[in-house]
Amino acid sequence: TNKWRCAWAENFALSLDLKIPEKVDEKVILHTMEKYGRRGGEAGSCLKYCMVPERRYYDNKYTSAPHRRKEKLNVSAREIVNKIKEIAKENSIDLLAIGNKSDFKSHPLVHPEFHLPDAESIICLGIKEANEENPDFKGAILRRLNYVEFEIGHYLDIIGYSVITRTEIADDLVARQLGVYEGDFCFTTVLINAKLPEIAWKVKKEKRAKIEKEDLRRFSKKRGADLVGFFSQKRFEEFKNNILKTKLLSQKENFYIEDKGYIYGPYIPEIKSPPSSIIGVNFLYF
């Protein structure tokens, strides 16, 4: 099997409507990307088209890809909602709303059926943005939303429902239609073919308490960290000053390189200098 060809849409985000050569290599990928651009990832296309015959069936009015036969478990709508709430709370979600497809029947810009033809319920998830100038902070919020919607989608798929995430639907308009929109929130949308009760739920935050090192250590390891350590800003400054005195790391060499090119595209390096100090921080952990 030509793995480059298999990865055409799922990994390299090229359109499946383009004619795919029988032989695909890096040169073909870069040429096609430059000529036509990226359409967007087709996550799971290989799984959709390569299912064993016993697990697939076709409905060409729905999609050209075969459906996977699912075993719907006996789980009530209330149990599903409670599980979604649990996933949201465990993953720092601030707001959760569930609406019905009828809420968007006359909406001029949001059509759930375009993304999931048999959609019945619309799930809206939101995280409040902090007053943070660092662009990486918003990126972290969006990654968290992506992770949570995949977790919810995984659960719904396991119990036998069709679900889709990461569509081109206007998340802010979904939130506004469901009556939960706030300007300082980031939102994402999950569509499911199950009829769920409509809710608008804000996750109650626990009162701020003193954070101990072991709390952070447990939190970090629970989310995949293998090593967690701590040091003060004072110690960081002492280390920096000592290492500079050795001349092992001169100021002229104090830089890093960032790839500004698109993912899977040509390498476009940009040289940057890191900040000379960490401002406004009393304690750091890694």
Q: What is the pLDDT of residues 42-53, one digit of tens each?
A: 766 565 567 778
Task: Give me the CATH code for the 77-202 domain, please.
Answer: 3.40.109.10
Q: What tokens were used for 117?
A: 């033809």
Q: Which parts of the chain fold into alpha helices (H)? A: 3-10, 26-36, 45-49, 77-90, 112-115, 135-158, 171-177, 213-222, 233-245
Residues 6 or more apart whose CB falls under 8 angstroms from that of 40 comprise: 13, 168
Q: With 70 as the cut, is the pLDDT of residue 87 above it? A: yes
From-to residues of CATH 3.40.109.10 in the chain: 77-202
Characterize 123-149 residue by residue with b for buried, 16 or more Cβ atoms within 10 angstroms of its Cβ, and e for exposed: bbbbbeeeeeeeeeeeeebeebbeebb
Q: What is the distance between the alpha carbons of residues 180 and 153, in angstroms, rounded to a whole number?
A: 21
Residue range 109-113: mean pLDDT, rounded: 94
Q: At what angle do helices 77-90 and 135-158 cross, to 10 degrees?
A: 150
Q: With 50 as the cut, is the pLDDT of residue 281 above it? A: no
Q: With 90 as the cut, is the pLDDT of residue 260 above it? A: no
Q: Mean pLDDT for the chain?
A: 84
Within 10 A of 72 (CB to CB), how many other CB atoms are there?
9
Percent of the chain topping pLDDT 70: 84
Q: With 80 as the cut, is the pLDDT of residue 96 above it? A: yes
Residue range 145-157: mean pLDDT, rounded: 95
The pLDDT of residue 9: 84
- Least confidently predicted of 84-98, 118-132, 134-148: 134-148
Residue range 209-220: mean pLDDT, rounded: 86
Q: Which residues pair with 258 in a beta bridge?
A: 270
Residue range 172-186: mean pLDDT, rounded: 94
